[in-house]
Amino acid sequence: MSEPRASTLPGRPLSEEEHATLVAETAVLLATSHLFKSLDEAGRERFLASGLVVSFPRGSRIITQGEQGDHFYVLLRGRARVRTEAPGGSVALAELTRGACFGEVSVLTGAPRTATIDALDEVDAVSFERGAVDALLDDFPKVRRLLEALVGARARDTIDKIVR
C-alpha cells in the first residue's frame, strides 16, 4: 500500500489521510489476525506494502463463482455474503465482517473461484495479488499451513451446508 499501482480492480486513488489511516488499520488487522500474526514485523510490513485498497458499493459482486481469481482479500469495512451454487440451488455459506479473508482458494490452488461474494454494505478490502501471496507463503511456511487449513475447513463447511 506504499505506492499506487495499476490494477484491474475498480477503485480510486486514496487521499494521503485515507492512505495513512488504512495503513494503520490494516497493520493492526494483520498483526492480530490468526492467519498473519505468525509473521514477523518485517514480513507483515512487506506483505502490507504489496496490498491495494479496493472498495465495492453495496450490492455489488466482489467475486463470482467459477471465474479465475488472482487476488486474495482481507475485509477492512462492511459485510459481504458468501454463497455457492450447488445442484439444489444457491447455498448461503457465510457472512464476512472485518478481518475476514476470502479468495484464498483460487490464489492458493489456481482453481476457479469456489463461491460468489456480494457486498451487503459498502465494502473496503485490501487486495493482495497472487505473486505477493506466493512470495509470503514461500518465506513463511507456517502461514501456508494455516491458509491450507483454512481452505480445508471452509471446504468441509461448504460440503456440510450443501448436504443439509
Over residues 99-126, the mean pLDDT reads 90
C-alpha span between 147 and 155 (Å, rounded): 12
pTM of the model: 0.73
Which of 30-39, 119-128, 153-162 reaches the highest mean pLDDT?
119-128
Helix boundaries (H) for 7-163: 16-32, 41-49, 104-109, 130-139, 141-163
**Could you tell me the CA-to-CA distances from 47 to 15, 102, 130, 136, 141 in Å, in that order?**
21, 16, 12, 7, 14
Sorting pLDDT into bands at 50, 70 and 90, what band is 1? very low
Query: What is the average per-residue pLDDT within 133-150?
Result: 80
Q: How far apart are the first and last CA of the chain?
A: 42
Residue-wise pLDDT for 5-31, tens only, equals 344 555 555 567 766 776 777 777 776
pLDDT at 116: 96
The pLDDT value given to residue 7: 44
Domains, the chain, ordered by start: 16-163 (2.60.120.10)
Task: Note the pLDDT tens digit of each residue in 37-56.
Answer: 777 778 777 877 788 888 89
Contact 98/76 with Cβ under 8 angstroms?
yes
What mean pLDDT, rounded, does the chain reach? 80
8 Å CB contact between 119 and 80: yes
Q: Could you report the per-residue pLDDT of 78-100, keeping only the tens digit for each?
A: 999 999 998 888 989 999 998 88
